[in-house]
């Protein structure tokens, strides 16, 4: 029979080994799913690795949006001001997607320098307010005006 002190040490070591094993399993499971976030300036600086999952964020450059003849392929440029990256996406764009608006594209860079997006997330500006909140603010303003 081991002393209580040795039993606690064995349990502590077993817990540490279990935690390390769980962390390694989680890292192994996420190795292909982890996507780093880049802006066009990072890509222009050569920080992005081709054919690796990543997210590209910035603004849709005005005048760059082009639809292909097939109707589902869209080409546009994402810019952060000093740099821009050409993006190709095949699919249905979100309703908030438009030139001059914020966008986050998930996909991969090709060796040719084109970002092939598999998912597009359109962002609204920081002044966005849900319609329900907009009605409440309008009602408060109306009450103040009436009073």
Listing DSSP states for 49-116 in one string gives PTTSEEEEEEEEPTT--EE-TTSSEEEEEEE-SS-EEEEEEESPPPTT--TTSEEEEEEEE-TTS-EE
Q: Is residue 94 part of a domain?
A: yes
Position 147 scores a pLDDT of 67
For every one of its 147 residues, what pLDDT tens digit does the chain have, with 9 covering 90 and above? 678 899 999 999 999 999 999 999 988 888 767 778 999 999 999 888 888 889 999 999 999 999 999 989 999 999 988 899 999 999 999 988 889 888 999 999 998 999 999 999 987 666 665 565 556 656 666 666 666
Same domain, 81 and 45: yes
Same domain, 1 and 68: no
Report the C-alpha gap between 77 and 62 in whole angstroms: 8
Same domain, 42 and 110: yes
Q: Is residue 139 part of a domain?
A: no
Q: Is residue 1 part of a domain?
A: yes
Same domain, 22 and 60: no
Position 137 scores a pLDDT of 58
Same domain, 25 and 78: no
Same domain, 92 and 118: yes
DSSP characters for 10-26?
A: HHHHHHHHHHHHHHHHH
Same domain, 52 and 117: yes
Name residues whose C-beta falls within 8 Å of residue 75's C-beta, 6 or more positions apart in sequence: 64, 65, 66, 67, 68, 86, 87, 88, 89
Which residue ranges make up the annotated binding site for heme? 124, 128
Q: What is the CATH number of the domain that holds 88?
A: 2.40.50.140
Position 13 scores a pLDDT of 96
- Residue range of the domain that includes 56: 36-122
> For the chain, what is the domain count?
2
Which residue ranges make up the annotated binding site? 124, 128
Q: Is residue 140 part of a domain?
A: no
Sign of CA dihedral 34, 128, 78, 121: positive
Q: Is residue 134 part of a domain?
A: no
Same domain, 48 and 79: yes
């Amino acid at each position: 029979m081991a002393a209580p002190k040795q039993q606690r040490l064995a349990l502590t070591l077993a817990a540490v080994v279990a935690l390390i094993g769980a962390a390694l399993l989680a890292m192994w499971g996420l190795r292909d799913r982890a996507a780093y976030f880049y802006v066009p300036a990072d890509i222009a600086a050569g920080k992005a690795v081709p054919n690796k999952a990543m997210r590209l964020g910035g603004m849709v450059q005005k005048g760059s949006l082009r639809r292909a003849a097939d109707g589902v392929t869209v080409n546009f440029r994402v810019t952060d001001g000093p740099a821009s990256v050409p993006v190709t996406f095949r699919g249905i764009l979100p309703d908030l997607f438009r030139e001059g608006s914020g966008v986050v594209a998930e996909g991969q860079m090709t060796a040719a320098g084109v970002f092939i997006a598999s998912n597009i997330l359109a962002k609204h500006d920081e002044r966005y307010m849900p319609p329900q909140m907009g009605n409440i603010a309008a009602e408060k303003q109306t009450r103040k005006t009436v009073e």
